[in-house]
Amino acid sequence: MNTENLLKELNDVQREAVLHTEGPVMIIAGAGSGKTRVLTYRIAWLMLQGTDPFNILALTFTNKAAREMKERIAAVVGHSEAKNLWMGTFHSIFARLLRIDGHMLGYPSNFTIYDTDDSEKLITQIVKEKNLDKDLYKPKKILNRISSLKNNLIIPQYYDNFPELREYDEAAKIPDFKNIYTAYVERCFKAGAMDFDDILLKTNELLGTFPEILAKYQDRFRYILVDEYQDTNHSQYIIIKALANKFENICVVGDDAQSIYAFRGANIRNILSFQKDYPDCQIFKLEQNYRSTQHIVNAANSVIANNRDQLKKNVWTSNETGEKITIYKALNETEEAHYIAERIMERHLTYQMPYSDFAILYRTNAQSRALEEQLRRKNIPYRIYGGMSFYQRKEVKDLLAYLRLAVNPHDEEALRRVINYPARGIGQTTVERLTILADQHNTTLWDICRNAINFKNELGTAPAQKVSDFATMITEFGVRARRESAWDAAEHIFKASGILRALNDDKTEEGISRLGNVQELLNNIKSFTDTQLSLEENNDISLDYFLQDIALLTSTDQQDDGEPNKVSLMTLHLAKGLEFPVVFISGMEEELFPSSQMVNTRADLEEERRLFYVGMTRAKKKLFLTFTHMRMRYGKTNDCEPSRFLDEIDDQYTELILPAFHRSQPTFLSGPAWGAGPANNHSSGPFAPIGTSRQKTPHLATRPSSTASNALPPEKPQGEILTHTVPGDRVFHEKFGYGNVLEVEGSGVNVKATVAFDQAGQKKLLLQYAKLIKV
Ligand code: ATP
Ligand code: MG
């Protein structure tokens, strides 16, 4: 694409924002208004004007977003040039910087990155060593606290400067928090490890302590661009401010209405601070939405208007009016999932829409189970983002721990994990003795292990020998890790560590699947080694680099198996920045969404509402919102109330659909509003369900009484769909409920069954279409 064509693909304001390359720029604009597009085109434009890609730094929210941007830019400026851009998440970019200069702070260049699991295990260990109450000092709680302090650049040494911190911890019944925090920081440092927050914290420390290093990167990054700026935290804010200080060519884009990570320390005030830091900054407002239909844009506007704290924006679109938003009331989560799967199938078959056009969003990961089940039943391929990732599986982590040890043997968490896996007779007592020795000698677990022979008295002769053998093996792995490619080293370690044998010996189905997962990890390493040479500018195929690469995957990056034609399932949080032709938001119920934990303060409720706004604005053509009458949560079936957010959508943009069942149970439909509405004719056709404009009433009035809910039939039973049947069979029909088969006639595709339904009376059904389930 040439320069002229590039600029033609932008509207006037977007073009202006792209061309205004010098000086501070802030683009605060509504969803789908082309913020990410402007950022991408700006980079391409800079390069077309001769800016060296080495001088550009672009920060995105996920690695996937960075990859997509890079591809777009490569299409304009050529692949070899685009390769040299520093583009990625804050964490991946600054981990890279720390690999280069972190030694100034005393870290090895091959430092380990602890994931949440490693950090929590370390905290558990410290709490145990300090004999503290593990019920009060829960690792998750402690880690969250540590994370929040680190993101505000409060290291243990500063703790006492803020008396309110101690007050908070005492009130939270964790008075020893500071001691744990101190020990945690020391242990990570000794192990040559950083946790996620350290990557930002240590970058700040590095840039703040060494003016020559700061100057080096200030000179290098002449142009800095940040997407999703509304979700940056304080630590990130300070880094970009420092880096941009020399040239002030900084461009941030964001939308205050989409700030959804306050719970992780994101600070919406960074938007306001930007204007203070750069009083001469140029502000661009993009208001035209290019993504969604008018109905979707207007409905989303009507929802976000309920938030008091927001910058005024007028988001509009000249796109088609589009279909109304469908609000569907389901009986329970199974029926909700069934409805969603059916709508996907219909559109897939009728309009040949690929499965990748659909996304199902939900508030909590737990909601995916029912959805998955119904998708599987219909053979609809899907991909779940987030949740338990591949790299968090036990067997995968076991092999990874060996690989981590090969690169950095001081990595305490990896060492603890595999010192006796596969079993080699190093018991818990020995590990405890090793820990005490490390503490006494003020050194790492690894240092004790490799000198184990000198500690025969403390450990006993046989255990000392076993530990020493283990250390010899790890040392040998280390030599390979330095000399060989990631793939060669990993393949050797897989065999020599005994993991291959241990997994091979396990012939249970679980064991076989574990072996499969580990092999999949090896495949990943192989393809990393193979593709690294062609993709990245530094051609690093070492194990060290591979480990860094996967440690920094974000939830949206994980499990992208390259298979494009799948329905996407993810939490609303993960959907930020993405778009899909058809979007379902499921579980639109009080307590679930808004979450019961987010309704106690206005700030929390507004954040929750922004999350809904993010969800709605992912849809290009069609949006479905579904809620249930009953839902199983924590093993109990609960009555549900429709989400208050549904009431906030202007009626004119929505239609309410009730499940078929509601029509055969008119007694259930008492009172107006959500639970009720006139019994409508639910069309089974794909695009024209005849809905009802609902009446607004306070949602509290719609909570069904327990008698009403008792009148509901049991949920759809599990079972095979009948292809033949005999009189006397008890069956279930999607629409008519339960009944008994009276008579069967016809043959082949014309078999008809006469069924006496408990509620709906006698019906004659063509078996081929009736989808009767035998119960
Ligand atoms: P979000 O707030 O969700 O991150 P955004 O503001 O970053 O959204 P983009 O993702 O950049 O918006 O753009 C939304 C959609 O509109 C994309 O499909 C993009 O290609 C398209 N788009 C943006 N600007 C234009 C334009 N000038 N002409 C045509 N399409 C556009
Ligand atoms: Mg965007």
Reported pTM = 0.79
Q: Strand, helix or coil at 568?
A: strand
Q: What is the mean pLDDT of residues 417-426?
A: 95
Residue 147, token pair as written in the block: 């994370």
Establish whether 677 is an annotated binding residue: no
Q: Which of 75-89, 341-355, 453-467 bottoms out in mean pLDDT, i.e. has the lowest?
A: 75-89
Tokens 């968490």, residue located = 413
Using an 8 Å Cβ cutoff, are 321 and 298 in contact?
no
Does pLDDT of 265 surpass 90?
no
Return the ligand number nearest the Cα of 576.
Answer: 1
Using an 8 Å Cβ cutoff, are 433 and 421 in contact?
no
Instruction: Say how far residue 610 (Cα) sits from the centre of its chain.
Output: 17
How much is the pLDDT for 549? Answer: 80
Instruction: Say how far residue 637 (Cα) sits from the centre of its chain.
Output: 27
Q: Strand, helix or coil at 735?
A: coil
How much is the pLDDT for 558? Answer: 55
| ipTM confidence | 0.99
Residue 619, token pair as written in the block: 């849809």
What is 63-77 written as a DSSP string? Answer: HHHHHHHHHHHHHHH
Q: What is the 3-state secondary structure (H, E, C) of 352-378?
A: CCCHHHEEEEECCHHHHHHHHHHHHHC
Distance of alpha carbon 419 from alpha carbon 2, whole angstroms: 58
How much is the pLDDT for 739? Answer: 87
Query: Which of 115, 197, 227, 590 is an active site residue?
Result: 227
Q: Which atom of ligand 1 is nearest to the CA of 618?
A: 3
Using an 8 Å Cβ cutoff, are 21 and 42 in contact?
yes
Average pLDDT, the chain: 87
- How many other CB atoms sit within 10 Å of the CB of residue 636? 7
Does pLDDT of 726 surpass 90?
no
Widest pairwise Cα distance in the chain: 89
Q: What is the pLDDT of residues 249-259, one digit of tens each?
A: 999 999 999 98
**Ligand 2 centroid to residue 38 C-alpha, Å:** 9
How much is the pLDDT for 698? Answer: 34
Q: In 216-240, which positions are buried (b, 16+ CB within 10 angstroms) versus exposed (e)? A: ebbeebbbbbbbbbbbbbbbbbbbb
Q: What is the pLDDT of residues 665-680, one digit of tens each?
A: 433 333 333 433 333 3
Strand pairing class (580-585; 619-628):
parallel
Residue 760, token pair as written in the block: 């709906």
Instruction: Say how far residue 677 (Cα) sits from the centre of its chain.
Output: 36
Distance of alpha carbon 243 from alpha carbon 235, whole angstroms: 13
Q: Which atom of ligand 1 is nearest to the CA of 40?
A: 11
Length of the chain: 775
Establish whether 481 is an annotated binding residue: no
Query: Using the 8-state DSSP alphabet, how is residue 720 labeled?
Result: P
Q: Strand, helix or coil at 210?
A: coil
Which residue ranges have their beta carbon within 6 Å of ligand 1?
Answer: 9-11, 14, 29, 31-37, 255, 258, 290-291, 577, 579, 617
Q: What is the pLDDT of residues 682-705, one digit of tens each?
A: 333 333 333 333 434 333 333 333
Q: Residue 716 — very low, low, confident or very high, per pLDDT cuts 50/70/90?
A: low
Establish whether 173 is an annotated binding residue: no
Using an 8 Å Cβ cutoff, are 542 and 490 in contact?
no
Does pLDDT of 84 surpass 70?
yes
How much is the pLDDT for 701? Answer: 31
Q: What is the mean pLDDT of residues 96-112?
A: 93
Query: Percentages helix, strand, coil for the chain, rounded to the nearest 5?
Result: 50, 15, 35
| Residues sharing a CB contact under 8 Å with residue 528, sequence separation 6 or more, in sequence order | 486, 487, 541, 546, 549
Written as one letter, the residue type at 470 is: F
Between 232 and 528, residue with greater pLDDT: 232
Partners of 361 in the β-ladder = 570, 585
Establish whether 29 is an annotated binding residue: yes
How much is the pLDDT for 743? Answer: 84
Return the ligand number nearest the Cα of 284.
Answer: 1
**Percentage with pLDDT > 70 across the chain:** 89
| Residues sharing a CB contact under 8 Å with residue 279, sequence separation 6 or more, in sequence order | none
* Phi, psi (rounded to 5 degrees) for 329: -100, 115
Query: Using the 8-state DSSP alphabet, how is residue 56 labeled?
Result: E
| Mutational pocket test of ligand 1: of 36, 60, 71, the residue with most ligand atoms within 8 Å of the beta carbon | 36
Q: Residue 715 — very low, low, confident or very high, per pLDDT cuts 50/70/90?
A: low
User: Cα Rg for the chain, rounded, in angstroms?
Assistant: 29
Distance of alpha carbon 415 from alpha carbon 402, whole angstroms: 8
Q: Whose CA is nearest to atom 14 of ligand 1?
A: 32
How much is the pLDDT for 712? Answer: 38
* Phi, psi (rounded to 5 degrees) for 614: -60, -45
Does pLDDT of 410 surpass 50?
yes
- Known catalytic membership, residue 35: yes
Distance of alpha carbon 307 from alpha carbon 260, whole angstroms: 13
Q: Whose CA is nearest to atom 30 of ligand 1?
A: 290
Q: Whose CA is nearest to atom 17 of ligand 1?
A: 291
Burial environment of residue 508 by CB neighbours within 10 A (0 to 12, 13 to 18, 19 or more):
exposed
Q: What is the mean pLDDT of residues 428-434?
A: 94
Q: Which of 239-248, 378-387, 466-475, 538-547 bottoms out in mean pLDDT, i.e. has the lowest?
A: 538-547
Using an 8 Å Cβ cutoff, are 640 and 653 in contact?
no
Q: Whose CA is nearest to atom 19 of ligand 1?
A: 34
Q: Residue 602 — very low, low, confident or very high, per pLDDT cuts 50/70/90?
A: very high
Q: What is the 3-state secondary structure (H, E, C) of 608-636?
A: HHHHHHHHHCCEEEEEEEEEECEEEECCE
Angle, CA 100 vertex, CA 99 and CA 105 arms, to 5°: 75
Between 411 and 663, residue with greater pLDDT: 411
